[in-house]
Amino acid sequence: MSLYEDLTFRGLVNQVTDEEGLKKAIENDSITLYCGFDPTGDSLHIGHLLTILTMRRFQLNGHRPLALVGGATGLIGDPSGKNVERSLNEQNVVEEWSEKIKGQLSRFLDFDGENGAKMVNNYDWIGSMSVVDFLRDTGKHFGINYMLAKDSVESRISSGISYTEFSYMILQSLDFYHLFQREGCRLQIGGSDQWGNITAGLELIRKHRENPEETDVEQEAFGMTIPLVTKSDGTKFGKTAGGAVWLDPEKTSPYEFYQFLLNTDDRDVITFLKYFTFLTKEEIAELEGEVEERPHERKAQRKLAEEVTSFIHGDEKLAQAQKITDVLFGGGDLKQLSAEEVLQGFKDVPSYHCEAEEIGLVDLLVQAGISSSKRQAREDIQNGAIYINGERCQDTGKVVEQAERLDDRFIVLRRGKKKYYLITF
C-alpha cells in the first residue's frame, strides 16, 4: 500500500484540506511535515502517541518530520477542547517541561539521514517578537468574524474566553507560516480538535503567498487531522482510575503501561492495533480472526501490549513487564523478581516499613494493618489465607526472617486471593 492508503486503512485520516493534492504530494515527492506538542506537563501521555506514530509513519516513507515543542504557545494555553480557561504556568516551569518533552520526542523519531527529523521550539521565533510586530505583521491577516467562527472559540463564547486564549490560533498559524517559509514545511498534522488552528495557519500562508515579497515558497501546503482516540464504551482513551497513562517511566512504569494495553477491550483491540503498531494488514487480519474465534486467549491484546511497550520503553523493559505479569498472574515465582520489578509490580498496593530484623508473622500482620488483631491474624493463618512471597503459611508461630526477603529488601504478603501488601525492611 502507498502511505496514504496505509493511513486510510488504519483509520488515521480524519480531515484533510486537499485530499488529492496531499496524495500527489506525498506519493511523488519527499515533503516536510510538523506536529506541535505544548508543554502543559512534564511528560507526554499515551494520548499523544497517535500523532507521534503518524509522524514516524511519514518518516519511514521518506518524509521529514519536525517535532515542535510549544515553548511560546505553552505559555498562552490552547482553548481547543477546553470549556474553561487554562491556568497559566510560569516561564521557568514551561521551559523545564519543554526540555523534558524534547527528550521524549527524540526517542521516537530518527534524527539522522537525508530525512532526519528536527526538533524546533516556537519560543525561538515568537519569544522575541514585539507586540507591535505581532499585530502589524500577523494580526492584520485575521478577521474577528473568521476567528469567532472557529469551533475552539465559538464553543467558549458563552462560558467566556480571554484575549490570551483567543489569540492562540494566531500564534499557531504563525508557527505553520514560519516553518513553511524557513523549513519548506508543507503539512501540519494534529488531533481533530486542532482543525480550526490548522486551517487558520493555511489561511495565513495563503495570504502571505498573495504577496510575493513576503514568501518565496511556491508549493502548496496542507492540513490533516487524526481522530481523537476513544474507547467503545465512550470513555476517553488513556485515562485510568489512577490518572493518565504517561510515556515517562517514572510516572507510569513499563509494567503499568504494559498492563494498561493488555487489558484492552475485545471491541477496541483491532482498532488500536491499526492505530498504534506497525503490523501489516495481513498480520492484523490474522489477529482479528483470533479475537473472533479464540477471544479468551487474548493474543491480540498481548501483541498490542508487546509492540507498543517495546516502542516506548524498549525490549529490556518489555521483558521486565512480561516477567512481572507472569509472576503475578501466571503462577511464577516471586523470588525471581528484582527490587525494581517488585516496586513496579506492587507500586499501588498498601505498604508497611518494618524496622525489626526478624518479626513474628502474627505481629507483622497486625502492625501492617493486614489483620485487625492478633486473634484475627492467627485465624487468618490457620485458615490458609496468608501467603509469604507467594507461598501459603499456616504456622501461627512463624517468624519472618531476613533470609526470606526478596532482594534483601522486601516481603510480599497476600491475604486471600487478591489482597497484596508490600513489606519493606
Q: Select which of 8, 15, 40, 215 is catalytic.
A: 40
Nearest CA-CA partner of 220 in 175, 188, 172, 174: 188
pLDDT in tens, 123-137: 999 999 999 999 999
* Alpha-carbon gap, residue 325 to 388, rounded angstroms: 18
Average pLDDT (178-190) is 96
DSSP for residue 335: G
End-to-end CA distance of the chain: 57
- Among residues 90, 129, 104, which one has the least CA distance to residue 42? 104
Active-site position among 10, 48, 141, 186 = 48
Could you give the CA distance from residue 361 to residue 399 in angstroms, rounded to a whole number? 6
Classified as helix, coil or strand, 321 is: helix
- The pLDDT score that the predictor gives to residue 88 is 82
**pLDDT confidence tier of residue 364, bands split at 50, 70 and 90:** very high
Per-residue pLDDT reduced to its tens digit, 27-48: 989 999 999 999 988 999 998 9
- Any known ligand binding at 168? yes
Residues 286 and 10: their CA atoms lie apart, in Å, by 15
| Phi, then psi, of 191 in degrees rounded to 5 | -65, 165
For domain 239-332, which CATH number applies: 1.10.10.200, 1.10.150.650, 1.10.10.10, 1.10.240.10? Answer: 1.10.240.10
Q: Which pLDDT score is estimated for 218?
A: 65
Active site residue 236: yes
Q: Of 18, 42, 45, 376, which residue is the catalytic one?
A: 45
Select from 3.40.50.620, 3.40.605.10, 3.50.50.60, 3.40.50.1860 the CATH code of 3-226. Answer: 3.40.50.620
239 is in an annotated binding site: yes
> For 233-286, how does the pLDDT look when each residue is reduced to its tens digit (9 = 90+)?
888 888 776 678 999 999 999 999 999 999 999 999 999 999 999 999 999 999
351-424 — its CATH code? Answer: 3.10.290.10
Q: Residue 335: its pLDDT value, please?
A: 84
Helix residue ranges per DSSP H, 131-194: 131-133, 144-148, 151-154, 163-166, 168-183
Residue 146 marked as a ligand binder: no
pLDDT of residue 155: 80
Q: Please check the confidence at residue 216 and state whether its pLDDT lies above 90.
A: no
Give the pLDDT mean for 213-239.
83
- Whether residue 421 is annotated as binding a ligand: the answer is no
Helix, strand or coil for residue 39? coil
Active-site residue identified among 23, 56, 57, 86: 86
Greatest mean pLDDT among 80-84, 198-202, 336-340: 198-202
Contact 227, 271 (CB under 8 A): no
The radius of gyration of the chain's CA atoms, rounded to the nearest angstrom, is 27
The DSSP 8-state label assigned to residue 406 in this structure reads B
> Is residue 351 very low, low, confident or very high in pLDDT (cuts 50, 70, 90)?
very high
**Residue 289 and residue 346: Cα distance in Å, rounded?**
34
Angstrom distance (rounded) from CA 389 to CA 406? 8
What pLDDT is attached to residue 217?
Answer: 59
Dump pLDDT digits (tens) for 142-153: 999 888 888 878
Q: Give residue 162's pLDDT band: very low, low, confident or very high (50, 70, 90).
A: confident
Quick check: 13 and 158 in contact, CB under 8 A?
no
Exactly one of 240, 280, 336, 394 is catalytic; which is it?
240
Choosing from 23, 239, 335, 398, the catalytic residue is 239
Q: Whole-model pTM?
A: 0.86
Is 40 a residue of the active site? yes
Over residues 317-327, the mean pLDDT reads 93
CB neighbourhood size of 143 (10 A): 10
pLDDT tens per residue across span 67-111: 999 999 999 888 877 777 777 889 999 999 999 999 999 999 999
Is 45 in the active site? yes
Q: What number of helices (H) and strands (E) belong to the chain?
A: 19, 15
Across 74-221, where does the E strand assignment appear? Answer: 118-121, 185-191
Distance of CA 160 to the CA centre of its chain: 30
Instruction: Determine the Cα angle at 156 with ends 153 and 160, to 5°.
Output: 120
| Residue 360 grid cell | 513474628
Establish whether 48 is a catalytic residue: yes
Bridge partner residues of 224 (DSSP): 16, 189
pLDDT the model gives residue 209:
80
Instruction: Mention every residue, 6+ apart, whose C-beta is less than 8 A from residue 416.
Output: 385
**Range list for CATH 1.10.240.10 in the chain:** 239-332
Q: What is the pLDDT of residue 243?
A: 79
Establish whether 398 is a catalytic residue: no
Q: How far apart are CA 89 and CA 190, in angstroms?
A: 23
Quick one: pLDDT at residue 359?
A: 93
The catalytic position among 18, 137, 193, 248 is 193
Instruction: Give catalytic status of residue 313 as yes or no.
Output: no
* Active-site residue, selected from the candidate residues 236, 267, 392, 419: 236
Sequence ranges of the chain with CATH classification 3.40.50.620: 3-226
Domain(s) labelled CATH 3.10.290.10 in the chain stretch across 351-424
Which DSSP letter does residue 134 get?
Answer: I
What's the pLDDT score for residue 213? 64
